[in-house]
Structure 1
Amino acid sequence: MTESFSKPFSQACENNKAPILAVLNRTFANCKGVLEVGSGTGQHAVYFAENLPHLQWYCSDQPDYHEGIIAWLEEASLPNVTKPVALTIGKDSFPSLPIQGIYSANTAHIMQRHEAELLMKSVSEYLPSGGVFCQYGPFTIGGEFSSESNRVFHESLIERGYGGYRDISELTAWSNDLVLREIHKMPANNLLLEWHKP
């Protein structure tokens, strides 16, 4: 890692990490390993690994993001978080890891519809029985947006070529063996969906 490389930074990650951790403290209490799908900047990985020392946090993302993630990991130097593996939905298979939990934040609305469907089906197949999937981000419920700003953001995503918000009914239909046990309301009109595999 060159000294001139500046770590990527997301203000949204800074704003939402504590409210998300409050949920993960409970949902991942019995997990020994968690795979993060779409580690992004690496901020969540470092924060959650530091505050959930009982588990091993496995990072993954598209290769273009790896340098930034590694910069965060090297600075934090934590024993329970691993360098990212390449994972592009629709291209790579989920890595073979000893995990009981999966976490993903702000990925479904960036993906195309078929990719979001594949994500849900892959998580359902990959997660072991008794496992939990925590999915954070903006979603619609019954086709309804939780705020006008969410509707505007959804439309801007579509205009820029992204898939846009997914409705919880879609995710449920694609989730196969997963059961949506709880919908946690989060700041900034986001939700954390708590899925369990019986």
Structure 2
Amino acid sequence: MDDVETPIERPDVIVPDTGPLIHLAQTDALHLLHQIGGRVVVADMVAFEATQDMTKPGAQEIQDWLDAGQKPNSNAPVLVAPTEIGRLFATARTVDPTTRAKDSGELAIMQWLGNYVDYHSDASILIVYENGKIPRFVRETGLDMATDVLTTRAFLELAERRGIVSSAEDFWQRIVDVAPTANPQVATMSIRRPKQDRDT
């Protein structure tokens, strides 16, 4: 496991790919995202990819969770972030409903984050992912804000350290039982602005 600084207490939780949503949904654990953070942010493309086929495992649970989180005054708020990539994809699908776009969900949320930082440089975020490209995407985006980047398995370990779950390993085993190909890494990455930058 990589070294990680003291985790942010109540960050926005960003989910840049479908893996964490699907696997947490399959194990009735989407609520953990809100127990670690405050608002959960999912790109429009990620929401689409996770729910486009309602016969797939976890899709209905994710849709119900998204719907509940977008209600006014929800105590478990979810933002489905509109992105230019999502808009272009939706337009393309009106021409060809079979259109696919590789890494579109991941790229969409990175685009949204780049814009978010411009107006919320003092905010903090926690990114939960399974696609191994995400840490590179985050580094290339050059986020100038307090950021923790964790795999789903590392996220569960954080939940255990905070006393939210009694055993991260038990939760992980439940995920593996229904999704044997889930990313098994316990990987973390932290980004912190130098103190002198925060004080200026």
Specify the TM-score bucket, using the shorter chain as the normaliser.
0.3 to 0.5
TM-score calculated relative to the size of structure 1: 0.38
TM-score calculated relative to the size of structure 2: 0.37
Name which structure has the greater RCO, CA cutoff 8 Å, separation 6+: 2
**More strand per residue: 1 or 2?**
1
**More helix per residue: 1 or 2?**
2
